[in-house]
Amino acid sequence: MQTAMEELEANPLPGQTPDTYTVLVASWFSPETVTLCAERGYGTLDFSGNYRLHFGHVFLERVGAPPPASEQRQAASVFAPKSARILRALLAVPEHPWKVTELTAVTGVSAGLVSRVRQQLLERQWVEEVPGGIRLLAPEPLLSAWAEQGKDVEARLYRGYTLLHGQALGARLLRVMQGPNAGEQVIAAGVSAAQWMAPFLRESREQFYVTEKGFDLVRDELDLEPQATGENIVLRVVEEPEVFFDRVQPSPLSWTTSPVQTYLDLRREGEWGEEAAEHLRQKYLLPLIHGEIPAPVSPLRERLEALQRQRA
């Protein structure tokens, strides 16, 4: 839409004058696009029934109608596991102008998928074109849409109980987290991850994402027994490695889900989880994206830096 407005301004239509009020029409406009158009003096009208018209003393607005099914499917595809790798990269290194070739190399997805997702992100005004590639422009709308339209990570849930408590439990968990390839097999999740970033809640349960190998490691190290209720360890066993792709090490003592994945997981934990997610977003995630606090150790960021060194 940004490109369309620039084209209209550079090449006015026949009969168009500086006093002409132009209304842009599309199948659906996101709230962010409506705001962007209004700021440049354009009205908007979409086929879902949303509109915003403001000329002279006239102001007409109707918002809230959802996008057509085709738009919803397209939006959902952006948050599919492989596509979401691109989002994870953009959010993990938000200051970097990403080339298509870099996104392909770092994420391991095809150049065709990168190009399609790139176009959708540009259309939604979530990224912008800059010299050298695309860069994150609107992280908050992106995160909100992901939380609302994305799906839970596919995982087998295991609820277990360990007799270990206090320092004994902490020592065993530390041994797991500092073992060989720990960050590739076991990472703290949910509230357990948030404790390393922006503590908000204390919970009696520890939560982790694990691979099948990681599951065996944690179960054996903590002497876990299955527990239908009253569990104090929750393991989410994943087959696909997507949640490990952008993992971080906020402390030498622990590997966790990325701040983004931690935020998404908390948002799906009910009312208390939404409060914890908002706390994380305000106190850690957005300051991190805006460069106000140091970035944690991140293999994803390290892969990009290694790629840049190779091409230098």
Which pLDDT tens digit goes with each residue over 164-200?
988 999 899 888 888 777 799 999 999 999 999 999 8
Q: Residue 219 domain-assigned?
A: yes
Q: Is the separation of the CB atoms in 88 and 246 below 8 Å?
A: yes
- Rounded to the nearest 5°, which phi and psi values hold at 250? -70, -15
Going through 94-227 in order, the beta strands assigned E by DSSP cover 127-130, 133-136, 156-161, 186-188, 206-210, 225-226
Q: Residue 310 domain-assigned?
A: no
List pLDDT tens digits, range 38-78. 988 999 999 889 999 999 899 999 988 887 665 555 555 89
Domain of 186, CATH number, reads 3.30.460
177 and 78 assigned to the same domain = no
pLDDT band at 290 (very low <50, low <70, confident <90, very high): very high
Mean pLDDT value of segment 251-275: 93
258 and 170 assigned to the same domain = yes
Q: Residue 297 domain-assigned?
A: no
All residues at 6 or more sequence positions from 262 whose CB lies less than 8 Å from its CB, including other chains:
189, 190, 193, 194, 197, 256, 280
Q: Residue 46 domain-assigned?
A: yes
Number of domains, the chain:
3
pLDDT at 72: 52
213 and 171 assigned to the same domain = yes
pLDDT at 210: 96
Q: Residue 269 domain-assigned?
A: yes
Q: Residue 308 domain-assigned?
A: no
Give the rounded percent of residues in the chain with a pLDDT score beyond 70.
96
Q: How many CB atoms lie within 10 A of CB 124?
A: 20
pLDDT at 1: 62
pLDDT of 18 higher than 90: no
pLDDT at 297: 96
pLDDT at 5: 75
199 and 284 assigned to the same domain = yes
129 and 182 assigned to the same domain = no
Domain of 111, CATH number, reads 1.10.10.10
- The Cα–Cα gap between 70 and 60 comes to 27
Q: How far from chain centre, in Å, is Cα 298?
A: 15
pLDDT of 114 higher than 80: yes
pLDDT at 168: 92
More confident residue, 40 or 299: 299
pLDDT at 312: 77
Cα separations in angstroms, 271 against 136, 141, 194, 203, 266: 29, 20, 16, 15, 9
List pLDDT tens digits, range 196-246. 999 987 778 999 999 999 999 999 999 999 998 899 999 999 998 899 999
Q: Which residue has 């952006």 as its token pair?
A: 78
Mean pLDDT value of segment 140-166: 92
- Structural domain of 40: 2-62
- The Cα–Cα gap between 240 and 118 comes to 23
Mean pLDDT of the chain: 90
200 and 276 assigned to the same domain = yes
276 and 210 assigned to the same domain = yes
57 and 73 assigned to the same domain = no
Q: Residue 89 domain-assigned?
A: yes
161 and 258 assigned to the same domain = yes
pLDDT of 158 higher than 80: yes
pLDDT band at 33 (very low <50, low <70, confident <90, very high): confident
184 and 103 assigned to the same domain = no
198 and 170 assigned to the same domain = yes
With CA atoms as reference, report the closest residue to 53 among 66, 44, 64, 65.
44
CA atoms within a 13 Å half-sphere pointing along the CA-CB vector of 189 = 25
- The Cα–Cα gap between 302 and 3 comes to 34
- The Cα–Cα gap between 118 and 107 comes to 13
34 and 11 assigned to the same domain = yes
pLDDT of 123 higher than 90: no
Q: Residue 302 domain-assigned?
A: no
